[in-house]
Amino acid sequence: DPWEHDCGCQCNSCEAVASCSCDQTFGNSTTLPNTALDLSLATCGCQCDPWIHDCGCGCESCETKSNCSCNDSGNSSTFPNTQYDGSLATCGCGCDKWEHDCGCECPSCANNATCECDQTNGSSSTVPSLATDYCGCGCIAHICECTCARDSCDCQCEQECGCNCTRNECGYDSPDGKNFTPTGGDGPGGSCKVSANCYDAGQTTGHPGFYAGGLFTSYSGPITASLVKYVNGVASTFTSDYLYGYLVTPVSAVASFPNLAVKAAATIDNAFTLYFSAVSEFFKTNETASFQSIPDDFKVFQANTSSENIPGSIYQVSEGKVELGNFTLKFYGSQGALITNATELDGFNVSLILVTGEGGDSSSTTSYDDETYSTVDPADFYVVDKSSNAEAADDVVGINGDSAQIDFSLAVYGHVGYNFQVVAIVNRITTTQSRVIGNFRIDPGHMTVSFGQDYAQTFGSGLAPKVVRVNGEANATDVDGLPGPLRLQLEDDMGNVMTKSTCTNCAQIRLLQCTDSFAASASYPTCASSAQAYCAATDGSKCTASDQFLDTLSGTTTASVVNGTAEFTDIQLAYVLGAGYKLQFTLNPAGSGTTEAFTVTSPHANGEIQVPDDSYSVAGVNNSFFVRPYELEVSQDPAGDGVDNNMDGVPDAVAIGVPFRVQPAVEVKGDGYYFDRDWNKHGFAPVTAIISSTACAGDCTVNGLSMTGTITGVSTHGKTYTATTGSLPAINYISGNASTVDVVDLYYDTTLKGVGQLWRDLQIDTASSYTGQEDVVLEFRCGPNNINVTDTYWYTSVTGDLFDVMGGPDPPVNLRVSNYDNLGFRIEFDPAPILRTKPLSGYIIEIDECKTGVPYSCQSIANPYYSAAYGINTILGSDLTRGGGFAEEILVDYSDVAAGEPMEINMTLTPSRSLYAGDSLVLFMGAPNVLFANFSSTCALSGDDAALVTHSVDATTSQLTLTVASGSNLIARKPVFLQIPLSCNALMPGGAGAEARYGSNVSYSLPPV
């Protein structure tokens, strides 16, 4: 017989087999085959063997074989006429059975046909009637041993003939009536086998080798659960991909599925069922009742990313809308697995809505989760179903094809505001159906600010404030205060007002200051960046600290947006000064008036616009405005020489070509308050001193008046001002590099104790040093120095009192000297003409006795205060200019301590004339050798004005010398307070220490208080 190779499913071919010689008598092979085939799959037998066709999975049918004739010896005389592949066909004698090995999906194998056998030769007397029948003699079987599973089963052994069995009778042993072991033949392991059929009570047929009903307690193979999905009546079967816990091993014939659950599949409009199977589904149950599977959770992702929900917190309107982006909604099971089996036919969808604060107030912090919200008109919320790229009906989107996910895009039209939320509501889910998938604000694409009656004028190129008066009144641009009222409009990027935008107190106005504008900066700011402006002054109740900012704008600084518009009706500037300020309008995230200005990097970012705005201004030219003082106050007029016209104790004239003995000073005022804090938070504020064109009886050019300063010029960028006639000169008339030591602008001055300017060395010259000028008036202006204007409202000005510019008095005439020998001499002279511009208070006669060998005897020395023009440029002796004859009253009081104890000494003076650096006051305090006996050499004076003076003491004479410090002045009629603190160790006279030095009878007293 040929060698047979058992070919299963998906085999390519059955290899040719080698021939072998056979024992013709008994039908047994005498040798093993010479074959390359697996020996476990190869068998060798004589020509009496049966025809076998091995049919694997997927076979459609097993064709009927033709008969073949056999001789008495059991050998076939011819090959069969068969339709089978010759490599799969073998021929045996007619006594053998036809066997059909049926695999999966093959038609069923019917019951065995009955055949009669020749018990002696072991050959059948008939051939089977069907190709699918098993026929064998009673002595030989070829079915493996089997087991009956239950006592109630009538387990019977059926014996069948097979090839290569010996002629011995095939028997079996069964100790329990369930388990059967063959005997006889070639024994266990050979081809003599037994099988058991189990029949239920009342049945006559069963399942060969298996069991009908009951528990198969000895079965230990796996049991598999399978999931079936029906879509429109069409079933699809799934296992491991869509089930948890689908495979178990039975225990005592019972298979329990404790963790069986649907995984990654869901449906509500279709149905799922289950069935259970064993042995590669040879046995399987009926399907369960149908059921649905619903997702446990969902997430929304930005399309093609792992980032969840709507990105960002701020959007800006572009092309009339806000594109929120493309998104994908994915479903998840209760164990976190992504659902991958769900289609557009399974009935899942998401409804998307846009909500804002309660009552439509987009500044409200209420939300969808608080159940206090308003739904935005769906017509303004554009939802696109990405599966069709069409607008979703009713903003509801279903699954995209068979992707198991929902794809959509979102956009918002016509709205601006702080608080918006997008809510996704899934129609069926086991947890929360709705979820906020985005919380964001929408800023306008553009903003405009208009002002005036009916808001007829809009800030822009050529129409933006350049100069604003602090605490001013609303008027036209650059006339006084901020123009008003002000209106802010929220627009899209095409200039259309966003009329659907509403929020409460969500718009705010703040005052910004250029970061390169600060006190005493000496240059106008370029304003490349800006930040919140802070208080530079206080009235005692507002702006009480330098880190405060809310009171820099008076009026109501927050407003509600109604139909895309916010109005500010009473805004003015306060407590600020100088160059480099801007207004900033923003959408206020806090909904209150307590927030600072926003720092922005581009126009309209964060819903912001500035006035002036960078979109229409030039850096350093018109991109900020100047805040001019509400008022300037003259603290000190030029004076110090000549006649005291106003009887204030100070001469009211100045000398030609000589620095004013009393230098002018001005201070800054707001409306009812001074800038008297040293915070230096204000901007650059240039100031100019000019000779008023209204002075000099209307013409100061007649005598060629000009004013010059070297340490402090007439302005920030000018040393000299020449009197003019006609209209007032422009602010920047004084130009050029001043090259002065001190910057001339308004900043905190310790002498003035406020923001102002104290000049140091101004003087007036005339065309002729002999000719003075009556009724001169200085004017002081503060305003931007880079704008050429003639209108007075561009700057704040103040004029001082009249004073005269005088020349020196003419020397006496007709001088006559008469000698009286050694008795003396007589001097006679006539006075020169006495004028206001050449005042005369008296004559000084100096006598020097000339002596040989005495230095400087009868020699004159230069007088620094006069010139040769007056004929008295030299002096022989000393007058007031050398420090003689000047007294000041100083109020002194002492702390009440015991004799010999340290005490405080307080000193207050109001100078009757200005004292300058190097000028000294000498006080004889009394109690010599006692008062300052233990005085500390490292002691520092205290008091408000301690920095203005230095001090020294002479303990022996109890002399205290106060000297005006370098760079400081004591201004006439400005009180000065000084204190010698306890730490200086000035001693109260008296006590044991004093008596030991001076004796008990000596009385020591201080000067009277």
pLDDT tens for each residue of 843-852: 877 776 666 6
Give the count of beta carbons closer than 10 Å to the beta carbon of residue 982: 16
Lowest mean pLDDT of 92-96, 295-299, 335-339, 643-647, name the range. 92-96
Nearest to 957 by CA among 926, 1003, 984: 926
More confident call, 300 vs 815: 300
Q: Which helix (H) or strand (E) holds 992?
A: helix 992-998
Q: Check residue 738 and give its pLDDT.
A: 52
Q: How far is CA 126 from CA 95, 98, 105, in A?
A: 7, 11, 30
Lowest mean pLDDT of 334-338, 538-542, 602-606, name the range. 602-606
Query: pLDDT at residue 924 above 50?
Result: yes
Separation of alpha carbons 771 and 656, rounded Å: 8
Nearest to 977 by CA among 958, 962, 988: 962
What's the first-to-final CA gap in the chain, in angstroms? 151
Query: pLDDT at residue 476 above 60?
Result: yes
More confident call, 824 vs 935: 935
Q: Is the bond into 485 cis (omega within 30 degrees of 0)?
A: yes
Q: Check residue 755 and report its DSSP letter.
A: E
Residue that the structure tokens 């079967």 belong to: 237
Q: Check residue 945 and give its pLDDT.
A: 95
Characterize the bridge pairing of strands 747-749 and 720-722. unpaired
- For residue 39, report the phi and psi dihedrals to the nearest 5 degrees: -60, -25
Query: pLDDT at residue 422 above 90?
Result: yes
Residue that the structure tokens 């947006």 belong to: 561
Separation of alpha carbons 106 and 58, rounded Å: 7
Mean pLDDT of 232-259: 87
From the centroid of its chain, how far is CA 15?
A: 76
Q: Check residue 159 and give its pLDDT.
A: 44
Q: Check residue 87 and give its pLDDT.
A: 39
Lowest mean pLDDT of 228-232, 396-400, 862-866, 905-909, name the range. 862-866
Q: How far is CA 948 from CA 84, 496, 663, 752, 762, in A?
A: 128, 62, 17, 11, 21
Separation of alpha carbons 85 and 213, rounded Å: 40
Q: Check residue 784 and give its pLDDT.
A: 83
Query: pLDDT at residue 911 above 70?
Result: yes
pLDDT tens-digit profile of 155-194?
A: 554 444 333 333 345 566 666 555 556 665 544 444 455 5
More confident call, 773 vs 725: 773
Mean pLDDT of 375-395: 95
3-state secondary structure 705-732: CEEECCCCCCECCECEEECCCCCCCCHH
Nearest to 511 by CA among 585, 606, 455: 585
Residues in the chain: 1009
Question: Kindly report the CA angle at 950 between 948 and 952, in degrees rounded to 5?
Answer: 155
At 90, the pLDDT band (50, 70, 90 cuts) reads very low
Query: pLDDT at residue 997 above 60?
Result: no
Q: Is the bond into 975 cis (omega within 30 degrees of 0)?
A: no
Separation of alpha carbons 776 and 871, rounded Å: 26
Please, which residues have CB within 8 angstroms of residue 906's CB and are 6 or more apart in sequence? Answer: 892, 893, 894, 943, 977, 978, 979
More confident call, 940 vs 833: 940
Separation of alpha carbons 742 and 763, rounded Å: 16
Q: Is 889 exposed, middle or buried (0-12, 13-18, 19+ CB in 10 A)?
A: exposed
Q: What mean pLDDT, rounded, does the chain reach?
A: 75
Separation of alpha carbons 396 and 514, rounded Å: 51
DSSP 426-444: ESS-SS-SEEEEEEEEEE-
From the centroid of its chain, how far is CA 291?
A: 50
At 872, the pLDDT band (50, 70, 90 cuts) reads very low
At 694, the pLDDT band (50, 70, 90 cuts) reads confident
Residue type, 479: V
Query: pLDDT at residue 809 above 80?
Result: no
At 296, the pLDDT band (50, 70, 90 cuts) reads very high
Please, which residues have CB within 8 angstroms of residue 806's CB and are 6 or more apart in sequence? Answer: 641, 642, 653, 654, 655, 656, 772, 836, 837, 838, 839
Q: Is 413 exposed, middle or buried (0-12, 13-18, 19+ CB in 10 A)?
A: middle
Query: pLDDT at residue 934 above 60?
Result: yes
Lowest mean pLDDT of 119-128, 306-315, 842-851, name the range. 119-128
Q: Check residue 746 and report its DSSP letter.
A: -
